[in-house]
Amino acid sequence: MQKSINTFLKHPSKDLTNRSANPPVTRASTILFDTMQELYLHERKVKTHKKISHYSYGRYGSTTTIELENILKKLENAYHIFLTGTGFGGIALALMSLCRPGDEIVVSDNVYGPTKEISQKLLKEFNIIAKFYDPDNFDDLKQKISKKTKMILVENPGSNTFEFQDLSKIIKLAKSKNIFTLLDNTWGTPLFLKPLNIGFDMSFSSATKYFSGHSDAMGGSLAVNKKVFKKIMFFYKLSGYRMSADEAYLIIRGLRTLDTRLKQHYENTKKVINFLRKQNKIKEILYPYKPSSKNYKLWKKYYSGATGLFSIVVKSKKKSSVINFVNSLELFGIGYSWGGFESLAILQELKGNHKDEYIQGRKFYRFKKDEHIVRLHIGLEDPRDLILDLKKNLKKIK
């Protein structure tokens, strides 16, 4: 029968051998075959992208990672899924597979910090040049394109300042120049946006975050189309960028409730934002929460929903009081990452400093005097408790 994606996430696979509702965790390095002919046939299947139930060697994955690949392939509507041991590993896999000395990449200025670091520092050592463009200015992107441009790397929205870009314009530009495209879709997840459906070559998600949902697993998912499959598979098999069976199992477990969790994250976020928008100390909320908010139209154009991560712009002459506000929150943990069941808060240092401006900070974001960005992830707690916590501690901002 035809099933909705929400139903599919509850019933992707069963362990019929052991009569378990969940797939087994298969930890293996050596994979055994009955004959050499069977091994040769299997390797031909992998090379020609035929359906397989196992790999020929543990460096490529296990039956558990294949189960996760199959779930995400359906969710992303992808030709293939590559799984990595960390979220950032998926970005690195795409860059190292497709870029070669003499190439250039064009990267949105609002990308995840380590993405800037590998683009600006490591790739430079391989004579691959990264140019950063203003995510609020499509013309700036066009001006950065050259005959050497191999890839456009987009994070939409930026996970600190939440710029939404006109994705179809980027796709049209890239296709006219035969440039590869990669979208970091961790915020929206493929439940709310399927990048490959609108023309991107690659869709990346940090499985550490909403896919897992429990802050106890790490992983990355790189969904690809047929155009880039062979090149990425070549480097993937050599590099050992693979996910462990245990992490894959935890992420499969998390995906069962992805739709339910995201719905609650969003409902809680709306209630918290409704409180925050009335607070005098908060000058701006970086989230598409109402039609008049910045980038609402671009969010609505491409996404079918929103998640629980956003930033607030706080006005204060005393940075120490903003730090005190974050430190004093009882129900908001202080820590990196997001997408788990718990609420988080962190003061974002984005203004940069001299030599490391691109890596530590932002080139194009318009900072105003005495403004500070605090990023919040709204978890699955009772939103009334979160609001009380914020209300009590906002008084500490001077």
Give the C-alpha separation, 373 to 26, whole Å: 43
Give the C-alpha separation, 366 to 316, whole Å: 16
- Interval 75-96 mean pLDDT: 96
- Helices marked H in 145-195 — which ranges? 167-177, 189-192
Task: Identify the residue with better confidence: 54 or 356.
Answer: 54
Confidence check: pLDDT of 14 > 70:
no
Mean pLDDT, all residues of the chain: 92
Strand partners, 57: 30
DSSP state of 207: T
Give the C-alpha separation, 52 to 11, whole Å: 20
pLDDT for position 25: 87
pLDDT for position 300: 96
Confidence class for position 16, pLDDT limits 50, 70, 90: low
**pTM for this model (two decimals):** 0.92
Confidence check: pLDDT of 272 > 90:
yes
252 class by beta-carbon count within 10 Å (0-12 exposed, 13-18 middle, 19+ buried): buried
pLDDT for position 357: 46
Confidence check: pLDDT of 189 > 70:
yes
Q: Which domains does the chain show, CATH number per domain?
A: 5-255 (3.40.640.10), 258-396 (3.90.1150.10)
Confidence class for position 311, pLDDT limits 50, 70, 90: very high
DSSP state of 290: S
Choice among 37-51, 63-77, 184-198 with the minimum mean pLDDT? 37-51
Which tokens is 75 given? 């969710």
**Does residue 82 contact residue 106 with C-beta atoms inside 8 Å?**
no
Classified as helix, coil or strand, 316 is coil
Confidence check: pLDDT of 15 > 70:
no
Give the C-alpha separation, 65 to 58, whole Å: 10
DSSP state of 369: T
pLDDT for position 359: 46
pLDDT tens, position by position, 318-374 = 999 999 999 999 999 999 889 999 999 999 987 654 444 444 467 787 778 889 999
Confidence class for position 191, pLDDT limits 50, 70, 90: very high
237 class by beta-carbon count within 10 Å (0-12 exposed, 13-18 middle, 19+ buried): middle
79 class by beta-carbon count within 10 Å (0-12 exposed, 13-18 middle, 19+ buried): middle
DSSP state of 61: -
Phi/psi at 340 (5° precision): -90, -170
pLDDT for position 351: 65
Choice among 2-11, 48-57, 96-105, 318-327 with the minimum mean pLDDT? 2-11
Task: Identify the residue with better confidence: 116 or 148.
Answer: 148
pLDDT for position 278: 95
- Interval 183-208 mean pLDDT: 98
pLDDT for position 362: 73
Rounded to the nearest 10 degrees, the angle between the axes of helix 245-255 and helix 63-76 is 40
Stretch (H or E) spanning 98: helix 87-98
Cα angle: 64, vertex 189, 75; to 5 degrees: 50
Sign of torsion over alpha carbons 3, 248, 65, 123: positive
Confidence check: pLDDT of 5 > 90:
no
pLDDT for position 61: 87
Pairing of strands 149-155, 202-206: unpaired
DSSP state of 277: T
Q: What percent of the chain has pLDDT over 70?
A: 95
CA dist 386 → 322, 330, 336, 382, 391 (Å):
18, 9, 19, 7, 9
Q: How is 238-259 classified by DSSP, letter by letter?
A: HHT----HHHHHHHHHHHTTHH
pLDDT tens, position by position, 142-167 = 999 999 999 999 999 998 999 999 99
